[in-house]
Amino acid sequence: MTENIDETFNAYRKIIDKSSEAQSEFIRQFSNMQQNTVQNFFATLQGLTFNNAMFKTTVQRGGRLSIPEAERQALNIEEGDLVQVIIIPIERKKKVGDNTD
């Protein structure tokens, strides 16, 4: 009977060990995946900002956006030049009487 208990205990121990190994491997892979994602994100940002400009601006009447003078000068952008814009909303303007807090 003691032999059966020992065999059962050993079987459970192997299952627990394999489960622990599987969890550790999952965490390792997930961590690597997160690290790769962050590295890719920063590489993409670098690609977007190389020989480009990244700045914040406010949407004006009629949907107009202004490119700050320093960026226009740095990139030699003149009136009539065609540029590409990537929009990433940051914050919405609160309207008068808006109590969404």
Task: Provide the CA 26 distance to its chain's centre, in angstroms.
Answer: 21
Burial of 20 (0-12, 13-18, 19+ CB in 10 A): exposed
- Render each residue's pLDDT in the chain as its tens digit; 101 residues: 677 888 888 899 999 999 999 999 999 999 999 999 988 888 877 766 667 777 888 889 999 999 999 889 988 999 999 988 888 888 887 777 766 55
- Give this prediction's pTM: 0.42
Distance between CA atoms of residues 9 and 81, nearest Å: 76
The residues spanned by each domain of the chain are: 2-74
Scored b (16 or more CB within 10 A) or e, 30-54 reads: eeeeeeeeeeeeeeeeeeeeeeeee
Identity at 59, one-letter amino acid code: V
